[in-house]
Structures are given as structure tokens and as C-alpha cells.
Structure 1
Amino acid sequence: MDKNTISRDGTPIVYQRIGQGPVVVLVSGAMSAGATVAPLAGPLSDRFGVVVYDRRGRGESGDTTPYTVEREIEDLAALIEAEGGDAALYGISSGGALALHAAASGLPVRQVAVYEVPFAMDEVAANGRAEYSERLTEALAQGRRGDAVELFLRLTGLAEEMIQGARQSPLWSGMETIAPSLAYDDAVMGDGRVPRDRLAAITAPVLALAGGASPGWMRQAARAVADAAPQGAYRVLEGQTHMVDPQVLAPVLAEFFSE
């Protein structure tokens, strides 16, 4: 059954809690809502109370302008308070960046696990992200939601013919609906580089994960996160890509969150 908590600025955040035990909050990435990470909840729910929520501006949750990253951190604070007062966090992709920001902000977080936060590992990648941010802002300001989605899909490396095929898909209208939230994930990623000073402020243990079948720079980024966090650890899940298998990931998370 869906629950509802109210963030500090009055935004309703809709979520579900599955299972009993120490709370673990799952944080989705760009172009996704809680349903994207929900498959993880089942295999974790025998040991944890797993909170799956829709980030603001997507799914069943509300939204309030103007957006700031701090508002999303307040959303997590409201969820944690509503479900017992402390939690572990897991975030995938840009959702991992949000989880790291939340932990660095002093929220009552026991552990933080992140999977393939797409930080830029060289100047070419950082410049590409800066160009993406500029073009995304322009597209959304002009109401060109489809173009915004295309920009994001290109950023992820999707081939042009697949992007054009996606435009013909019945799912495209839903992607356009959620497109404004791309600006939120862009803000969470900052300038795209590893925020080492921010990570150095995290007092909780951090586990940075990457897939062995993902591009090498994803593993470099995960290692950089682990190196920057005072209690950071790095692990590769062999054979996995950015679309990580929940059945492979869940045991690793369960072990870490039980420490």
C-alpha cells in the first residue's frame, strides 16, 4: 500500500515500505521512478524494511518549484524520519549522486551504496556533460521535451537509430512526461566530476559498485568515489552492465548493509 510523507517545502512524496527490519531507501536514477528499483526490494525485504519511493517530479509524488538539490535531500530526510529515524541508502546512476549528497549533508545515514554514478573521468567527458547541461536547459525552457529526452539518450551512448526507434515507441509519451526531471538529475550531478570534497565529509561507510561488463570509465568512477570517501570500499560485479541484475546485486547490498 502506498504511503505519503510531506517534505519540508510541502511536496508530497509517495512511497512503499516492503519488509521489516533496518530501513534501506532505494534511490532511482534519471528518467525513472520508484518502479525501476523496486525489483531489488523483494530479495532485500527478508532482512530489511525497504523503502521504494518516487522522487519529486515523477511517478505519484508531487513537485514544487524552484528545484534545488537541497529539496531532494529534504525529501530523503522526510522519508527517513517517517520510517524510524535512520536508514541506509542505495542509489543507482545519478540517484547514487543524490544518495552521496544526502549522506554528506549529515542525514542519519548508516551506510551508502551506489552503483555506477556516471562521473566524468577526463576533460573530454566533463566538457561533453557541460554541453549537455546547456542544451538540456535550453530544450526544457522552450518546451521541447522530446529533444530533451533525445539529448539524455545520446549522453548515455544510445545509438542514433535506437533513439529514433524509441521516438516511435508507445513508451515515448511517458518519457516526455518525465523529461523535466532530467534537469533535476543534471543538477544532482553538478559539474559531472567526482565531488571529492563533498565525499570526504561522509562519515558513514560507502560501497561503490560497478559492472565488470560496463565501460572501463564506469569502474574508474566507482573507484574514485571509494577513494574519496573516508570509509570507502570498491567492488566490481563481474558480468554486469549498467542494467544490473537485482538478483546479483541484492546479496552484495544485504552483506554491506548488515555490517
Structure 2
Amino acid sequence: MHKIESADGTVIAFDQIGSGPPLIIVAGASCDRSVDAALADELARHMTVLNYDRRGRGDSGDTQPYAVAREIDDIRALTDAAGGSASLLGLSSGAVLAARAAADGVPVDRLIMWEPPFSLDDEARRRTSEYAARLGGLLAENRRGDALALFMSLVGMPEEVIEGMRHSPHFQQGLALAHTLAYDAAVMGDGSIPEDTLTRIQAPTLLLAGSRSPAFLCAAAERAAAAIPDARQAVLADQDHNVAPDVIAPVVARFTGTTHDV
């Protein structure tokens, strides 16, 4: 494990494996770097991978007050640690954070966005805003379990399954990250595609979605790609939101032009 300091002094922890051109994994909601370890291992067959704990997660610090700009500074510090620039692979809401970093001038070689969960209509945006407001209230009352259950409901998990999971080890691990759900809510805003932001991205960009994912995720990837000047979009067959590492890694390697294999 390595540690660096972000611009505000927050310690950011990361693992670095592999060799070749660098790529940073930007995790989605309720994930720390352990969740993406298998993905990092697959990617490391082709490149140098920096798999980090976003602030407030795992071994990283959590300087308050939270701001999306501070998370962008974290990615900027990681690109410095990688040698001055890196490709970014953002997953779910992490894809939106990675896009915001690229638009903000972080030196990004290539940007890969896996299923950014944008809201495509007024009803979806209303649900996203209501979720953020309710989430903030639950966290203010330190009701982490209810906040985590709310997030699980948002992503489509049935209520009976959520209730059955409340005493599982997976749920208990999620409690440690529950406060960071508010951070991803801030990254997403009302869920609208931030076209003014996306148009500022100069790095070549690849938007990916899975054929087994909800249709709106494929549509969101396609519409986001249309807003980015140098972007393309592809659908990975037989994949859902929890994409298989051995499926996405070769696609990322081809797009970044890495050929190193160990």
C-alpha cells in the first residue's frame, strides 16, 4: 500500500501493481479498493494500475467539509504519483467523478466510463433528488443502516432481499462506507447529463455498458458519449452492472493502447 497527500492534506491510500502506462481505477458508490482488487489484477496484466480508496473509505482520510472539488484534487494527486498523467477507468458514479476530473484539467491520457448512472427523464431526476435529500437526513441522524438500505433500494434491490441482508457480513462492511454515499450523491447532482462539463473533456473517451444492464444505462452511455468531443461507445455482451474483470480489462487495454502482458 502506498499513501500520498491530496491538496488539502488528506491522505489517500492506494495499491500499485503491474507495469507499463498508468491507469487509475475510480470506484463507484459503496466501494473501497478491495472491491476492485480483482479488476486491478486483470488490468495489471497490461498496464500499471493504481487502485485507490476514495476519501472516507478504507485507509484514506476524510477531511471535512466534503466537496467534489476535493475528490478531483485526489485524482490529480494520483496522476502526479503516476508520473504526471494517467488514464482513468471510472465505474458507475465513479465514472462521473472521473469525467469531472478530466473536464477540470486533470492530465488524463484516456478516459473509460463504465455505465455512468445518469437520469434521462424528469421522473428519474426527481427520484434522484429525493434520494439525495432522504439520504442526507438519514446520515444526519447517524442511521447508516437505513442509508445503506436506501441506496440498495435505489439500485433496484428488492426490499425483502435488503431486509435479509441486514445481518450479513456484506451489509456490515457497507456500514463503514455508508457516509460516503452522500459523496456520490454530490457527484451525481440531480442525475442529469452534465453536457457543459462533458464538452470540456479533451481526452479520448470510451463509454461502456453491458447488454444485460437496464436499458437506461446503455442509453445514458450513448447520450454521454454524444456530448464528449472525442468519444465512442460500446456494449459488452452478456454483462450487467457488475462487469466481469476478465471481460472489461482487454477492452480497456485495447483502448489505451497497452500491449504489456505478464
The separation in 2 between residues aligned to 1:56 and 1:41, in whole angstroms, is: 19
Measure, in 2, the Cα distance between the counterparts of 1:173 and 1:248: 29
- Which residue pairs with 1:91 in the alignment? 90
Instruction: String of CA shifts for 1:132-168, please: whole Å, max 9, x gaps.
Output: 0110011111111111111101100100111001112
**Superposition TM-score, scaled by structure 1 size:** 0.98
Percent identical among aligned pairs is 47
1:15 corresponds to 2:14: yes
Q: Measure, in 1, the Cα distance between the counterparts of 2:192 and 2:135.
A: 18
SS in 2 for 1:36: coil
Secondary structure of the corresponding residue to residue 105 of structure 2: coil
Q: Give me the CA root mean square deviation.
A: 1.0
- State the distance in 2 between where 1:152 and 1:173 align: 14
Contact 2:210 2:241 in 1 (8 A): yes
Corresponding residue SS for 2:239: coil
TM-score under structure 2 length normalisation: 0.96
8 Å contact kept, 2:129–2:189: no
Q: What are the residue-to-residue correspondences of 1:210-221 with 2, within 5 Å?
A: 210-221=209-220
Q: Can you list the C-alpha shifts for 1:205-257, whole angstroms capped at 9, x where unaligned?
A: 11000000111111000001110000010000011000101111011000001
In structure 1, the residue matched to 2:49 is 50
After superposition, give the CA deviation of every residue in 1:4-36 in whole Å (9 maximum; x if it has no partner): 000011110000111111110001100000122
**Structure with more relative contact order (C-alpha pairs < 8 Å, separation 6 or more):** 2
Q: Which moved more, 1:82-91 or 1:35-44?
A: 35-44
Matches within 5 A, 1:48-197: 48-197=47-196
Residue 124 of structure 1 and its aligned partner are, at CA, apart by: 1.0
SS at match of 1:35: coil
What is the alpha-carbon distance in structure 2 between the residues aligned to residue 24 and residue 171 of structure 1? 28
Gaps of 5+ in 1: none
Q: Distance in 2 between matches of 1:176 and 1:39?
A: 22
Q: 1:198 corresponds to which residue? A: 197
Aligned length: 258
Deviations 1:100-120 (A, max 9, x none): 000000011011001111100
